[in-house]
Amino acid sequence: MKEIKIKVDKKDKEILFYLDLNARSSISSIAKKVKTSKQVVKYRIDRMIENGIIETFLLFVNGTKIGYVAYKFYIQFQNIIEEKLEEIVEELKSHPLIVWVATCDGKFDLAIAPIARNNVHAYAILNELLLKYNEYIGDIVPLNYIDVSHLKKVHLTGFKRDQIDAPYWGYEPGNYRLDDYEIGILSILCENARKPITEIAKDIGCTVDIVNNRIKKLVKDKVIVGSTIIVNKSLLGYEYHKILLKTRFYSEKEENLFLEFVKAEENIVDVIRMMGSWNYELDIEVKNAYQLHNIIVKIRNNFSKNIKNYDSLMILKEHKLNFFPMGNSFKKLCLL
């Protein structure tokens, strides 16, 4: 069944914008920025949760800091019925090393984002999937992420993107050692990034000061790199597409100009560098295929000598997004 677009006014969009900047923003700080009362802000947030516009509050965890590298597997199925696809999706959602699961329309049927300690570990995850679903997988394309810049949703409001810092994760794999408190905190916040510190302390059996200090340390050491909201894009009248670009740059300056250009495009919300069949993945939120086409044409016209080929696909539904999917099993998985 097609979802019906829900009308949101300017004030709702401003609240969504500030939650996108920081999902843990207090009601009072948002109220001050949007020039209304705390009661009105709380009511509007609760209403947007109830009607399904706000799906979840998401914590950004930079997995490379704790020794994990991000990958993306694009999967094309064969000989599969809808019920079996739904079964596979449910199984992948429960996998402790898969961050993201989404169904697609286009060249691929499913996209997943596993994390692994290295290429050997990633290969083992790939083989695990091929063996388990051998009958149904026609093709699987693995990609290795280099880094990700999450850009704020300025297309919902009139704010200027160049005045806003974007959460970034990547870097060389590190060896930050999480203690039991930090594992508990990340597990809880990755389920609900707005959960109050008092409730986190109660859940993991420690004081509020311990939780406060651990969160500050995780932010300082760039393990936690921000938070945002996941909204139901279709209810707001938007579609979610990915552009996969095979590029070749002939100087660092050329690539920097490309990055500046795509990050300035208001409808592009993620810029991902990778190795594999494509070098860049651009996440785009648009109102229709015509708007998507115009953005692609604009990019190709400005970087015609650098873009060798491209693919695009539409994300139909995101079934899972959790940047610390191993949760409280983190230490056990590290020993495997």
pLDDT at 1 > cutoff 90: no
Query: Rounded to whole angstroms, how far apart are CA atoms 278 and 309?
Result: 9
Which CATH fold topology does 10-58 show? Answer: Arc Repressor Mutant, subunit A (1.10.10)
pLDDT band at 160 (very low <50, low <70, confident <90, very high): confident
Buried b (16+ CB within 10 A) or exposed e, 297-308: eebeeebeebbe
Using one digit for the tens of pLDDT, what is the confidence trace for 104-121? 999 999 999 999 999 999
Strands 224-231 and 54-61: antiparallel
Q: Which residue, among 19, 44, 46, has the nearest Cα to 33 in the 3D structure?
A: 19
- Give per-residue pLDDT as tens, 38-95: 999 999 999 999 999 999 999 999 999 999 999 999 999 999 999 999 999 999 999 9
At 11-39, the pLDDT tens digits run 999 999 999 999 999 999 999 999 999 99
Cα–Cα distance between 121 and 263 in angstroms, integer? 32
Q: Which parts of the chain fold into alpha helices (H)?
A: 10-21, 27-34, 38-50, 82-93, 119-132, 180-189, 197-204, 208-220, 252-264, 289-302, 330-334
Q: What is the pLDDT of residue 166?
A: 64
Domain definitions of the chain by residue range: 10-58, 179-220
Domain 179-220: which CATH number of 1.20.1370.10, 1.10.10.10, 1.10.10.60, 3.40.50.360: 1.10.10.10
Residue 322 has pLDDT above 70, yes or no: yes
Q: How confident is the model at residue 162 (pLDDT cuts 50, 70, 90)?
A: low
Q: Contact, 246 vs 307, CB < 8 A? A: yes
Task: Determine the residue type at 145.
Answer: Y
- pLDDT above 80 (res 161): no
Amino acid at 290: Y
> In the prediction, which pLDDT does 4 show?
64
The angle that helices 197-204 and 208-220 make with each other, rounded to 10 degrees, is 110
Measured CA to CA, the distance from residue 118 to residue 169 in angstroms comes to 17
pTM value is 0.92
Give 169's pLDDT tier (boundaries 50, 70, 90). Answer: confident
Write down the residue that tokens 């169904």 correspond to: 103
Would 10-58 and 179-220 be classified into the same CATH topology?
Answer: yes
